[in-house]
Structure 1
């Protein structure tokens, strides 16, 4: 019998994954657009909305995870694999907070408002600071690439467990 993650944990996991992939795709798209246009501005706003949504989803996920233990890993899993899985999850949570916060900080440093869903104006996290904005943007972008790389490694590990080791690691999240 497969012991799965709770239904709320699974829903939050897949919503977060979809949001992160969407935000990353929008970031790549707008980064490749030259100059200024209304279309680019709208896509940047969607990127910000999704980023703020990721912050909310991850906060809920973390609270849920702290109050609901995940299912145990397979007993035959090597110690280094268990430790690697634990470290990867910790790094994913750190990055899922840090990357959207970095984007919000960048918007604040540039003097651009963050208005979630076009309805709720969020406070600036810092005063306008053009000199620092460039560094924050680079850190945000680097963090996004590291987050995506780690998420791909996470997915690859789950697929390895499913297709090669033939255990229930992946099925627990489906």
Structure 2
């Protein structure tokens, strides 16, 4: 498989970033809901923050890859509304990821919880629900779930019903 994308297939870098990001986002969502249910739990929160940082770095890497190193394959022909909706969902993924990172960082700064999480002390963590960015963070998590369902549903629709190769384009092709 080539490092860079071709006109019909995503390259190994784009495919790797996509699938690693997908797995980490699922783990991030799960850890977020566990953190919410078990608050305060420093161990779960450390995992959640680490996953969030990894997603943020992968997203920046993905944007840099597309801007400076690679070009995306051409869109598979489809109806105009499907192409527009696909573009909107991808843009919303970026907006939600950066918004979630900003609100997460905002909660850490406003709560002064980072020293407790880094030191591993037994100090009490604050109630994050009292912080302004918490509502945006929770909304972003639910919006991310909706986007994931829409994105996955569309990929499966194209794979199972249209059989147009959409899913294979974002998998590790043999050279």
Please confirm whether the aligned pair reaches a TM-score higher than 0.5, indicating the same fold.
yes
1:124 match: none
> Any conservation in 2 of the 1:109–1:133 contact (CA below 8 Å)?
no
Please give the residue correspondences for 1:55-74 in structure 2 after superposition, counting only pairs within 5 Å.
55-67=56-68, 68-74=70-76
Point out where structure 1 has 5 or more consecutive residues left out of the alignment: 120-129
The answer as to 2:140 corresponding to 1:143 is yes
Give the superposition deviation at 1:115. Answer: 9.4
Q: Deviations over 1:112-140 (max 9, x none)?
A: 11799x69xxxxxxxxxx99952211111
1:123 match: none
2:80 match: 79
Give the superposition deviation at 1:144. Answer: 1.1
Point out where structure 2 has 5 or more consecutive residues left out of the alignment: 1-6, 120-126
The answer as to 2:112 corresponding to 1:111 is yes
1:49 match: 50
The answer as to 2:36 corresponding to 1:31 is yes
The answer as to 2:99 corresponding to 1:94 is no
**Change in CA separation of 1:62 and 1:107 when aligned onto 2, cut-off 3 Å:** same
**Change in CA separation of 1:63 and 1:159 when aligned onto 2, cut-off 3 Å:** same
> Any conservation in 1 of the 2:9–2:73 contact (CA below 8 Å)?
yes
In 1, distance between residues paired with 2:156 and 2:116? 38
> Any conservation in 1 of the 2:103–2:133 contact (CA below 8 Å)?
yes
Give the superposition deviation at 1:3. Answer: 2.2
Question: Secondary structure of 1:170's partner?
Answer: helix
Give the superposition deviation at 1:141. Answer: 1.0
RMSD over aligned Cα, in angstroms? 2.4
The answer as to 2:164 corresponding to 1:167 is yes
Task: Name the TM-score, length of structure 1 as normaliser.
Answer: 0.82
Q: Higher relative CO (CA 8 A, sep ≥ 6), structure 1 or 2?
A: 2
In 2, distance between residues paired with 1:114 and 1:157? 42
Task: Name the TM-score, length of structure 2 as normaliser.
Answer: 0.82
Q: How many residue pairs are counted as aligned between the two chains?
A: 157
In 1, distance between residues paired with 2:100 and 2:30? 14
